[in-house]
Amino acid sequence: MTPPPGASRTAHQHRDRTAPHTGTGSTVTLRVNGAPYTLDLDHRTTLLDALREHIGLTGAKKGCDHGQCGACTVLVEGRRVNSCLLFAVALDDHAVTTVEGVATRKAGTGPADTADTTSPADTTGTGHAHDTGTDGDGLHPLQRAFVERDAFQCGYCTPGQICSALGALAEAAAGHPSYVTDPGHPPGRPVTPTPEEISERLSGNLCRCGAYPHILAAVEDVIE
């Protein structure tokens, strides 16, 4: 894979943005969408800033910067996280999947294991994807469902909504309960992703445009 504009897989090309080795910085390798990126980062650099400012993947958005809006949601080792709250240096050698990499995933699978990405300027994560064989149009089924269901307006929250939905469906399949799960549900058994379950599990992802009914419908479309 050719790194996106402004990105690099070696730290020496980022000296203008990285911390000198004075005790406040470290070298870290992030495996983003299947590709390794080795960077010299200040210890205070969040995963969100590492993705956007150092690697050039701008799909994950900075909204509240306090972990309350969900716009920055990505997957780390297959689990959804607020990337604005995680220090990048704590994730050395971790696999990170951003919206630019979800087209390389099948619904219900783990992190992307190939390096094809969408354009870093694509704010919705649905407009420009390489043909990875996932679908005829190269999109992940959930991305295509968002387009077909008109599940976004401004598109700012959409990358986080898509990554969060993928993580939420994986959690339900693994038997992780939510607040609305029946207390009598057998531990470890898959939880059926009902509309109530989906809404609860995605409640941390805000949409100021109010596209929630369409987001719910898009997620329901990809449930097997």
CATH code: domain of residue 134: 1.10.150.120
pLDDT number for residue 4: 54
Tell me if 128 is assigned to some domain: yes
Element (H, E) at 81: strand 79-82
Least reliable range by pLDDT among 2-16, 109-123, 195-209: 109-123
**71 and 123 Cβ atoms separated by less than 8 Å:** no
The amino acid at residue 91 is L
Mean pLDDT of 173-197: 96
Tell me if 54 is assigned to some domain: yes
Domain that holds residue 118: 11-221
pLDDT number for residue 23: 75
pLDDT number for residue 138: 85
Tell me if 99 is assigned to some domain: yes
Between β-strands 73-76 and 25-32, what pairing exists: parallel, antiparallel or unpaired? unpaired
pLDDT in tens, 137-149: 689 999 999 999 9
Of the candidates 17, 62, 76, which has an alpha carbon nearest to the alpha carbon of residue 41? 17
**125 and 58 Cβ atoms separated by less than 8 Å:** no
The per-residue pLDDT of the chain, averaged, comes to: 83
What is the band of 45 on the pLDDT scale with cuts at 50, 70, 90?
A: very high
Between β-strands 25-32 and 35-42, what pairing exists: parallel, antiparallel or unpaired? antiparallel
Domain count, the chain: 1
Tell me if 4 is assigned to some domain: no
Tell me if 5 is assigned to some domain: no
3-state secondary structure of 220: helix
Cα gap 45→224, rounded to integer Å: 38
pLDDT in tens, 98-133: 999 998 754 443 434 333 333 333 333 433 333 333
DSSP state of 46: B
Tell me if 156 is assigned to some domain: yes
**Encoding tokens for residue 174?**
């693994």
**105 and 166 Cβ atoms separated by less than 8 Å:** yes
